[in-house]
A and B are shown apart, each in its own frame.
Chain A
Protein backbone atom coordinates (compact mmCIF):
# COMPACT_ATOMS: atom_id res chain seq x y z
CA UNK A 1 0.00 0.00 0.00
CA UNK A 2 0.91 3.66 0.07
CA UNK A 3 3.87 4.48 2.30
CA UNK A 4 3.59 7.90 3.92
CA UNK A 5 6.51 8.96 6.05
CA UNK A 6 6.29 12.00 8.28
CA UNK A 7 9.03 13.94 10.09
CA UNK A 8 9.72 15.02 12.73
CA UNK A 9 7.70 13.03 15.24
CA UNK A 10 7.90 15.87 17.77
CA UNK A 11 8.54 19.58 17.29
CA UNK A 12 8.87 22.25 19.95
CA UNK A 13 8.92 25.93 19.03
CA UNK A 14 8.61 29.27 20.75
CA UNK A 15 5.52 31.34 20.15
CA UNK A 16 5.98 33.44 17.03
CA UNK A 17 8.45 31.04 15.41
CA UNK A 18 7.71 29.05 12.27
CA UNK A 19 7.13 25.30 12.20
CA UNK A 20 7.70 22.96 9.25
CA UNK A 21 6.54 19.35 9.01
CA UNK A 22 7.50 17.16 6.06
CA UNK A 23 5.97 14.08 4.48
CA UNK A 24 7.08 11.81 1.69
CA UNK A 25 4.90 9.44 -0.27
CA UNK A 26 5.67 6.45 -2.45
CA UNK A 27 3.06 6.42 -5.22
CA UNK A 28 3.82 8.91 -7.98
CA UNK A 29 0.18 8.67 -9.08
CA UNK A 30 -1.10 10.10 -5.79
CA UNK A 31 -3.00 13.31 -6.46
CA UNK A 32 -4.33 14.63 -3.17
CA UNK A 33 -2.42 15.62 -0.03
CA UNK A 34 -4.27 16.85 3.04
CA UNK A 35 -3.05 17.91 6.44
CA UNK A 36 -5.06 17.25 9.59
CA UNK A 37 -4.80 18.75 13.06
CA UNK A 38 -5.93 16.67 16.01
CA UNK A 39 -6.29 18.13 19.47
CA UNK A 40 -6.40 15.85 22.49
CA UNK A 41 -9.63 13.88 22.64
CA UNK A 42 -10.98 15.34 19.40
CA UNK A 43 -11.42 14.23 15.82
CA UNK A 44 -8.84 14.99 13.10
CA UNK A 45 -9.74 18.31 11.45
CA UNK A 46 -8.69 19.16 7.91
CA UNK A 47 -6.63 22.34 8.00
CA UNK A 48 -5.33 22.54 4.44
CA UNK A 49 -4.98 20.33 1.39
CA UNK A 50 -3.31 20.45 -2.00
CA UNK A 51 -3.89 18.67 -5.27
CA UNK A 52 -1.15 17.53 -7.59
CA UNK A 53 -1.72 20.24 -10.19
CA UNK A 54 -0.66 22.93 -7.70
CA UNK A 55 2.75 23.56 -6.13
CA UNK A 56 1.75 25.71 -3.17
CA UNK A 57 -1.35 26.75 -1.30
CA UNK A 58 -1.72 29.27 1.52
CA UNK A 59 -4.43 29.98 4.05
CA UNK A 60 -3.49 32.78 6.43
CA UNK A 61 -0.66 31.43 8.64
CA UNK A 62 -0.73 27.96 7.10
CA UNK A 63 0.78 26.86 3.81
CA UNK A 64 1.42 23.57 2.08
CA UNK A 65 4.03 22.99 -0.62
CA UNK A 66 4.22 20.02 -2.94
CA UNK A 67 7.23 18.70 -4.84
CA UNK A 68 5.92 16.01 -7.17
CA UNK A 69 9.35 15.14 -8.54
CA UNK A 70 10.75 14.41 -5.10
CA UNK A 71 7.38 13.05 -3.88
CA UNK A 72 7.21 15.14 -0.77
CA UNK A 73 4.92 17.78 0.66
CA UNK A 74 5.33 20.06 3.63
CA UNK A 75 3.20 21.98 6.10
CA UNK A 76 4.40 25.44 7.08
CA UNK A 77 2.94 27.31 10.04
CA UNK A 78 4.13 30.87 10.56
CA UNK A 79 3.81 33.04 13.67
CA UNK A 80 2.92 30.01 15.78
CA UNK A 81 0.57 30.43 18.72
CA UNK A 82 -0.02 28.19 21.76
CA UNK A 83 -3.35 27.08 20.26
CA UNK A 84 -1.41 25.56 17.36
CA UNK A 85 -0.19 22.90 19.80
CA UNK A 86 -1.64 19.57 18.62
CA UNK A 87 -0.80 16.45 16.65
CA UNK A 88 -0.57 17.03 12.91
CA UNK A 89 -1.06 14.24 10.38
CA UNK A 90 -0.33 14.23 6.68
CA UNK A 91 -2.18 11.79 4.43
CA UNK A 92 -2.18 10.48 0.89
CA UNK A 93 -4.25 8.08 -1.19
CA UNK A 94 -3.10 4.44 -1.14
CA UNK A 95 -1.11 2.65 -3.81
CA UNK A 96 -2.97 0.35 -6.20
CA UNK A 97 -6.36 1.22 -4.79
CA UNK A 98 -7.48 3.64 -7.52
CA UNK A 99 -7.53 6.27 -4.80
CA UNK A 100 -9.89 5.35 -2.02
CA UNK A 101 -9.39 5.92 1.69
CA UNK A 102 -6.62 8.16 2.93
CA UNK A 103 -3.56 6.65 4.55
CA UNK A 104 -1.96 8.70 7.32
CA UNK A 105 1.58 9.49 8.32
CA UNK A 106 2.61 8.69 11.90
CA UNK A 107 1.96 12.23 13.11
CA UNK A 108 3.95 15.14 14.51
CA UNK A 109 3.31 16.44 18.01
CA UNK A 110 3.78 20.22 17.85
CA UNK A 111 4.29 22.10 21.10
CA UNK A 112 4.25 25.89 21.04
CA UNK A 113 5.47 27.51 24.23
CA UNK A 114 4.72 31.11 25.16
Chain B
Protein backbone atom coordinates (compact mmCIF):
# COMPACT_ATOMS: atom_id res chain seq x y z
CA UNK B 1 0.00 0.00 0.00
CA UNK B 2 1.61 3.25 -1.15
CA UNK B 3 -1.32 5.56 -0.48
CA UNK B 4 -2.35 8.15 2.03
CA UNK B 5 -6.12 7.87 2.36
CA UNK B 6 -8.23 10.80 3.48
CA UNK B 7 -11.90 10.77 4.38
CA UNK B 8 -14.31 12.27 3.74
CA UNK B 9 -13.50 13.67 0.29
CA UNK B 10 -16.01 16.48 0.71
CA UNK B 11 -17.51 18.00 3.84
CA UNK B 12 -20.01 20.78 4.32
CA UNK B 13 -20.48 21.95 7.89
CA UNK B 14 -22.18 24.76 9.75
CA UNK B 15 -20.30 27.09 12.03
CA UNK B 16 -21.68 25.39 15.13
CA UNK B 17 -20.94 21.84 14.01
CA UNK B 18 -18.23 19.47 15.19
CA UNK B 19 -16.68 17.22 12.59
CA UNK B 20 -13.47 15.26 12.08
CA UNK B 21 -11.18 14.63 9.14
CA UNK B 22 -9.37 11.33 8.95
CA UNK B 23 -6.04 10.38 7.38
CA UNK B 24 -4.61 6.88 7.20
CA UNK B 25 -1.41 5.35 5.82
CA UNK B 26 0.07 1.88 6.03
CA UNK B 27 3.51 2.61 4.63
CA UNK B 28 5.27 2.57 7.99
CA UNK B 29 5.74 6.34 7.89
CA UNK B 30 6.40 7.85 11.31
CA UNK B 31 5.88 11.51 10.38
CA UNK B 32 2.48 12.85 9.41
CA UNK B 33 1.39 16.35 8.49
CA UNK B 34 -1.71 18.47 8.05
CA UNK B 35 -1.73 21.21 5.43
CA UNK B 36 -4.42 23.72 4.47
CA UNK B 37 -4.66 24.86 0.85
CA UNK B 38 -6.73 27.69 -0.54
CA UNK B 39 -7.46 27.93 -4.26
CA UNK B 40 -4.41 28.86 -6.36
CA UNK B 41 -2.22 29.03 -3.24
CA UNK B 42 0.49 26.68 -1.96
CA UNK B 43 -0.19 24.15 0.79
CA UNK B 44 0.24 25.85 4.16
CA UNK B 45 1.59 23.75 7.02
CA UNK B 46 -0.65 23.39 10.08
CA UNK B 47 0.67 20.52 12.21
CA UNK B 48 3.47 17.97 12.26
CA UNK B 49 3.38 14.68 14.15
CA UNK B 50 6.56 12.71 14.65
CA UNK B 51 6.33 9.25 16.23
CA UNK B 52 2.74 10.04 17.25
CA UNK B 53 3.78 13.17 19.12
CA UNK B 54 2.88 16.69 18.05
CA UNK B 55 6.15 18.37 17.14
CA UNK B 56 4.99 21.46 15.29
CA UNK B 57 1.87 23.60 15.59
CA UNK B 58 2.11 26.50 13.20
CA UNK B 59 0.03 28.89 15.33
CA UNK B 60 -3.19 27.29 14.20
CA UNK B 61 -6.41 28.48 15.92
CA UNK B 62 -7.70 26.16 18.62
CA UNK B 63 -10.86 25.42 16.63
CA UNK B 64 -8.57 22.96 14.80
CA UNK B 65 -7.49 20.10 17.05
CA UNK B 66 -5.18 17.37 15.73
CA UNK B 67 -4.91 13.86 17.10
CA UNK B 68 -2.63 10.94 16.29
CA UNK B 69 -4.10 7.81 17.91
CA UNK B 70 -1.49 5.48 16.40
CA UNK B 71 1.30 5.43 13.85
CA UNK B 72 -1.10 4.88 10.93
CA UNK B 73 -3.85 7.33 11.74
CA UNK B 74 -4.12 11.10 11.94
CA UNK B 75 -7.28 13.02 12.72
CA UNK B 76 -8.19 16.68 12.56
CA UNK B 77 -11.10 17.65 14.78
CA UNK B 78 -13.04 20.73 13.73
CA UNK B 79 -15.25 22.85 15.94
CA UNK B 80 -16.82 26.28 15.56
CA UNK B 81 -15.17 26.95 12.23
CA UNK B 82 -15.51 30.15 10.24
CA UNK B 83 -16.37 30.49 6.54
CA UNK B 84 -12.76 31.54 5.86
CA UNK B 85 -11.69 28.07 7.01
CA UNK B 86 -13.19 26.65 3.83
CA UNK B 87 -10.30 25.06 1.93
CA UNK B 88 -8.71 21.81 0.80
CA UNK B 89 -7.17 20.03 3.79
CA UNK B 90 -4.29 17.81 2.82
CA UNK B 91 -2.63 15.12 4.88
CA UNK B 92 0.90 13.97 4.08
CA UNK B 93 3.33 11.46 5.51
CA UNK B 94 7.00 10.58 5.25
CA UNK B 95 9.28 7.92 6.69
CA UNK B 96 10.49 10.14 9.50
CA UNK B 97 10.68 13.79 10.33
CA UNK B 98 13.64 15.20 8.46
CA UNK B 99 13.78 12.25 6.07
CA UNK B 100 11.79 13.08 2.99
CA UNK B 101 11.75 9.69 1.36
CA UNK B 102 8.23 8.79 0.49
CA UNK B 103 6.77 12.24 1.24
CA UNK B 104 3.24 11.55 0.01
CA UNK B 105 0.05 13.58 -0.01
CA UNK B 106 -3.45 12.26 0.40
CA UNK B 107 -6.14 13.37 -2.07
CA UNK B 108 -7.51 15.84 0.46
CA UNK B 109 -10.82 16.79 2.04
CA UNK B 110 -12.58 19.73 0.47
CA UNK B 111 -14.21 21.55 3.37
CA UNK B 112 -16.95 24.14 3.02
CA UNK B 113 -18.09 26.05 6.11
CA UNK B 114 -21.51 27.63 5.79
Q: A100-B55, A101-B45 are in contact. Are A107 and B100 (CB under 8 A)?
A: no
How many residues in A have their beta carbons less than 8 Å from beta carbons of B? 23
Stretch at the interface among A42-50, A63-71, A74-82: A42-50
Q: Is B72 an interface residue (CB 8 A)?
A: no
Contacts of B48 in A (CB 8 A): 100-101
Interface size grouping (class) on chain B: 20 to 34
* B-contact 0/1 string along A28-55, CB 8 Å cutoff: 0000101000000011111001000000
List residues of chain A with CB within 8 A of the CB of B44: 104
Q: Is the interface of A mostly helix, strand, loop or mixed?
A: loop
Q: Which residues of B contact A (CB under 8 A)?
A: 31, 33, 40-45, 48, 50, 55-56, 90, 92, 97-98, 100, 103-108
